[in-house]
Amino acid sequence: MAVITNIEDLKRIYERRVPRMFYDYAESGSWTEQTFRDNSSDFDLVRLRQRVAVDMSGRSTASQMIGQDVAMPVALAPVGLTGMQHADGEIKAAQAANDFGVPFTLSTMSINSIEDVAEATGRPFWFQLYTMKDTDYISRLIERAKAAKCSALVITLDLQILGQRHKDLKNGLSAPPKLTPRTIANLMTKWAWGIEMLGAKRRHFGNIVGHVHGISDTSSLGAWTAEQFDPSLDWGKVEKLMEQWGGKVILKGILDAEDAKMAAKLGADAIVVSNHGGRQLDGALSSIRVLPEIMDAVGSDIEVHLDSGIRSGQDVLKALALGAKGTMIGRAFVYGLGAMGQAGVTKALEVIHRELDITMALCGEKNVANLGRHNLLVPEDFGGRWA
C-alpha cells in the first residue's frame, strides 16, 4: 500500500474509492467556487517565521476548546452525509476522534443518528443544529441531543438558505444514491464501498427519517429538506435556541466582526469563523483573511475557532497564531474516512498533528498556547474593510 504522508494522499485514495456523487458533494464549493479556492490559497499567503537555537524539547499540542481538554485544538466539523462516504461513517469518525482526544461534531444531516453515535461511542460529542421551520421537530432534536449527553450545541448560522453547487444538482445527489444508468455504471467501479454499505446500520438521514411526521422515504425527504431550512432565523431565535439547550453553545458560520459581536453579546461559549468550506456565499472572503479583524473585535470577549480550508498542521498553526483557540476540519477528515474508514480519520489526525508539532518546533515554540502574531508574516490587506 502507498505510504500516506499528507492529506492529499488520502484525497487521492478517497477519489478512487467513493462513488462520484459523494466525492463531488464534498469536493465542491458553491457557484464559481471562488471562495472555496481562496480558503486554501489565502493560507499560503501567510508566512511563518523560522527561529533557531531554541530548546524545543518537551513540546505539547494539548489545549482546551470550550473548556474541554483536547490533544490538539482541532475538532471534526459537522459534515452532512458522512455515512455515505463510508458505511457507518459518523460512528467511525467519532470513534477515531475519541481515540485521538479531539471533539467530534455530528451534523443534523447525518446518516447515523444522534442515538446511534451515542450508543456506539459512549462518549459525549458535539451536536450541530440546523434551524428548520418545523419548530416541534427542532425542539425534539434538541431534547434528543440533551438525552444523548452531547457536550455542546453547534448552531450553524450560515445556511438559512442553501447555496447552490452545480454538481450536486447534475448528479441528482441523494442518500442512498438513486439507481440511474449513470450511477449504476459508477457504482460498479466502487465495489468495496458498496459491500461495506450493505452492512451499514443506516443508509438514509438518521436524525430525520422516522422523527418527522410524513417522512418515511428519501424522495419526500429531499423535498422536505429543501423547504425546511428556516429563512426567518434571526438573533432572537438564536437566543431562544440557546435558552432551550441550556448548555455550551458554539455559533458557527460567522464571517463578519459585527456578527461576531452579536454572538459574544448573546453569551455563546465560542464562535466558528467559517464560510462553510466555500459552500454558501460564493465571493465571500476566506476565513483566515477575516480572522484578524474578528479577533480585534471580539478576541477578548469570546473563544474563537476557525474552519474552512485547513488541509495541514501548518494551516492549523497559522489560525492559532492569529488568535484562534481552536480549529475545525471538514474535508480533511472526510478524505481519510472515504479512503480507509476509521483508520483513515485517525491517519488524517496523525498527519495534521505531526505537521503542527514539527512546524511549531521550527518556529521555535514548545506549546500551542505560546503561538502568536510574532510567528507570522501576514499580508497587509488581511482583515478586509467594509465601507
Ligand X SMILES: Cc1cc2nc3c(=O)[nH]c(=O)nc-3n(C[C@H](O)[C@H](O)[C@H](O)COP(=O)(O)O)c2cc1C
The nearer residue to ligand X, 158 or 365, going by C-beta atoms, is 158
Distance CA 163, CA 29 (A): 9
Q: Minimum CB separation from ligand X for residue 51, in Å? A: 28
The nearer residue to ligand X, 309 or 365, going by C-beta atoms, is 309
Q: Is 123 annotated as a binding residue?
A: no
Q: Minimum CB separation from ligand X for residue 56, in Å? A: 28
Distance CA 327, CA 306 (A): 5
Distance CA 166, CA 174 (A): 14
Q: Is 310 annotated as a binding residue?
A: yes
Q: Are 70 and 103 in contact (CB under 8 A)?
A: yes
Q: Is 80 annotated as a binding residue?
A: yes
Q: How far apart, in Å, are the Cα atoms of 134 and each of 54, 163, 211, 230, 281?
A: 57, 21, 12, 9, 25
Only one residue has cell 453569551, namely 267
The nearer residue to ligand X, 23 or 365, going by C-beta atoms, is 23
Task: Label the pairing between strands 63-65 and 68-70.
Answer: antiparallel
Phi-psi region of 352 (alpha: psi -120 to 50; beta: other; left: phi over 0): alpha
Q: Note the residues at the interface with ligand X (CB under 6 A).
A: 25-26, 39, 77-80, 107, 109, 128, 156, 252, 274, 276-277, 279, 307-310, 329-332
The percent helix, strand, coil of the chain (3-state, each to 5) is: 45, 10, 40
Q: Is 308 annotated as a binding residue?
A: yes
The nearer residue to ligand X, 126 or 382, going by C-beta atoms, is 126
Instruction: Give the nearest residue (CB) to ligand X.
Output: 330
- Per DSSP, the three-state class of 381 is coil
Q: Minimum CB separation from ligand X for residue 86, in Å? A: 13
Element (H, E) at 152: strand 152-156
DSSP string of 39-96, one letter each residue: HHHHHHHSEEPP--S----S-B--EEETTEEESSSEEEPP-TTHHHHSTTHHHHHHHH
Amino acid at 228: Q
Amino acid at 20: R
Q: Is 311 annotated as a binding residue?
A: yes
* Annotated active-site residue in 276, 305, 353, 374: 276
Q: Are 103 and 126 in contact (CB under 8 A)?
A: yes
Q: Minimum CB separation from ligand X for residue 126, in Å? A: 11
Q: Minimum CB separation from ligand X for residue 28, in Å? A: 8
The nearer residue to ligand X, 321 or 328, going by C-beta atoms, is 328
Distance CA 252, CA 254 (A): 6
Q: Minimum CB separation from ligand X for residue 310, in Å? A: 5
Q: Is 252 annotated as a binding residue?
A: yes
The nearer residue to ligand X, 54 or 227, going by C-beta atoms, is 227
Q: Is 52 exposed, middle or buried (0-12, 13-18, 19+ CB in 10 A)?
A: exposed
Q: Is 130 annotated as a binding residue?
A: yes
Question: Any catalytic annotation for residue 276?
Answer: yes
Q: Is 101 annotated as a binding residue?
A: no
Annotated active-site positions, please? Answer: 276
The binding site for glyoxylate consists of 25, 165, 276, 279
The binding site consists of 25, 78-80, 107, 128, 130, 156, 165, 252, 274, 276, 279, 307-311, 330-331
The binding site for FMN consists of 78-80, 107, 128, 130, 156, 252, 274, 307-311, 330-331
